[in-house]
Amino acid sequence: MRVRGRCPDCGTVRLLPGRDTAGTPICRDCAGITRDFFCGRCGFEGLLLGGRLCERCTLADTLGRLLNDGTGHVAPALQPMITALLETDRPKSRLIWLRNPNVVRLLQGLATGTIPLTHDGLHRETPWRTVAHLRDLLMDSGVLPRVDRQLMLYQRWLAERLAIIEDPEHRRHLQHFATWHQMRRLRSKAENGPLGRSQTSQAKQEITQAGAFLAWLADRGRTIEHCQQANLDAWHTEKLATRRPAQTFLRWCMKTSRMPRLILPPQAINQDQAPLNQHRRLALLRRTLNDGSLPLRSRVVAALVLLYAQPVSRIVRLTIHDITDDGTTIAVRLGDPSSPLPEPVAELMRAYIRSRQQLPYTSSRSARWLFPGRQPGQPMNPGSLQAHLREIGVPPQRGRTSAIRQLVLQAPAPIIAKALGYHDKTATRLVTEAGGTWSRYAPGDHTR
């Protein structure tokens, strides 16, 4: 009852509930089925539910009942959300979602006004996963102003975390640190693109370890204002790796004169971050392009990293409109102008674009993202994409660094910077680090 297409017998595009002798789906007329499957309201041919209504009409009735503002009509402010939900490609999934008693409670509360139709109003509701999904729907439909999802989840976590801190002075210090340092930083990043889960996870670790340090200091009869160098040294000596996230809070306290200016232990780098050599980078690129057993999405992302030196944080923000294909050349807009993809990267990208429409979690609201995430309307999380690259043996940071250093040695840095979205100063610095020199560029116009 969900199979649609062109009937091989009569050539009509419609529901194909029947089967011929070979098992091929055919329409009801060609199959000799006497029962019709047309919706009694809109005439759509498909699976019928109660009252001989299709799933979409049933969804409309259910939403109208749940969002009744008490006058017998849908609350006007929520009408855009109803319109967006009815445009979904899978009304069945929304009907299943509306069976959740928490969803019913939240929708009825918003419709009647017992729950304020604001971000602050939703912020006080539970469970947080259901509230977060509903908030996404309200933002996508324009009912609520757009706010970064990860930022909202972090604010909720922060409020719950601060609420369990008993010492009022500790809570005050952490509240000020979160408000005047963390939130300003996160909001600034959110303006340039969706926050990743790793960014808010780092903020959580900073708050957690900062609270642990304040409690540790209090157990020794000291406050942050009277912290001494010996206290900092002892704190970091016990569990350096675990306690390092507290350093952001400690630096902020020193800068704002909340504690004496002391010396923090330097950060130890345990992982070799040296770029890949050219031979290794080309070997990884060759395997990415030729190994059909690897996931298609990971192969496309790896090619953009190894060939065009793109950071994963920028790749996840690419939209389907950043890809142009005139049938002969396919290009990706990384900077200005767009960068043409050579074969076989071009065919790899075409294959991925064809396959992405079949991803089970790609909703109509996520369709604009080249790499859609599992959350409706959101791109894929950068941390998840980096993990996928590591699974196929491609180190994202080292691979990107190796690629950009090779590129600036092969072409003038200003051209590379403009085409790949890098800053001129960054490209110039990379030329120097890679052992290149500006003297090899002849005077003149290098933009042609």
Q: Please give the distance of CA 177 from its chain centroid, rounded to a whole number.
A: 26
**CB neighbours (10 Å) of residue 279?**
8
Q: What's residue 144's pLDDT?
A: 93
Distance CA 224, CA 215 (A): 10
Instruction: Read off the pLDDT of residues 197-232 as tens digits, 9 standing for 90 and up.
Output: 888 989 999 999 999 999 999 999 999 999 999 999
The pLDDT, as a whole number, for residue 153 is 86
CB 259 within 8 A of CB 217: no
Q: Of 370, 328, 362, which Cα lies nearest the Cα of 347?
A: 328
Q: What is the pLDDT of residue 440?
A: 42
Question: Could you give the count of Cα atoms lying within 13 Å of 223 in the half-sphere of its Cβ?
Answer: 9
β-bridge partners, 54: 48
Q: What distance in Å separates the CA atoms of residue 154 and residue 132, rounded to the nearest whole number? A: 11
How many Å apart are CA 138 and CA 189, to the nearest integer? 22
**How is residue 303 written in tokens?**
């090619």
Task: Write the burial class of residue 72 (CB in 10 Å: 0-12 exposed, 13-18 middle, 19+ buried).
Answer: exposed
pLDDT at 421: 60
Cα 43 to its chain centre, rounded Å, is 38
* CA-based torsion, 313, 317, 322, 328: positive or negative: positive
pLDDT at 76: 93
What crossing angle do the helices spanning 168-177 and 246-255 adopt, rounded to 10°?
90
Residues 15/27, Cβ–Cβ less than 8 Å: yes
CB 372 within 8 A of CB 361: yes
Long-range contacts of 222-228 (CB under 8 A, 24+ apart): 223/169, 224/173, 224/253, 224/258, 224/259, 225/258, 225/259, 227/259, 227/260, 227/262, 228/260, 228/262
User: Given this model, what pLDDT does residue 437 score?
Assistant: 45
Judge residue 246's burial from the number of C-beta atoms within 10 Å of its C-beta, 0-12 exposed, 13-18 middle, 19 or more buried: buried
**Among candidates 309, 338, 287, 265, which has minimal Cα distance to 410?**
309
The answer to whether the beta carbons of residues 389 and 302 sit under 8 Å apart is: yes
**pLDDT confidence of residue 312:** 86
Instruction: Identify whether the C-beta of residue 182 lies closer than 8 Å to the C-beta of residue 202.
Output: no
* Cβ-Cβ contacts under 8 Å for 271 (sequence gap 6 or more): none
Residue 152 pLDDT: 86
379-to-183, 203, 283 alpha-carbon distances in Å? 22, 21, 29
State the pLDDT at residue 203: 94
- The CA distance from 186 to 177, in Å, is 13
Rounded distance between C-alpha atoms, residue 417 and residue 400, angstroms: 14
Among residues 155, 152, 193, 134, which one has the least CA distance to residue 378? 193
At 216, which amino acid appears? W
Q: How many CB atoms lie within 10 A of CB 125?
A: 18
Q: Any idea how long the chain is?
A: 448
Measured in whole angstroms, the distance separating CA 219 from the mean position of its chain's CA atoms is 41
Amino acid in position 431: V
Q: What is the pTM of this model?
A: 0.56
Regions in the chain scoring below 50 on pLDDT: 268-272, 360-363, 437-448
The angle at the Cα of 113, spanning 112 to 114, to the nearest 5 degrees, equals: 100
Output the CA torsion sign for 10, 11, 15, 19. positive
Task: Say if CB 233 and CB 243 are below 8 A apart.
Answer: no
Read off the pLDDT of residues 45-84 as tens digits, 9 standing for 90 and up.
999 998 899 999 999 999 999 999 989 899 999 999 999 9
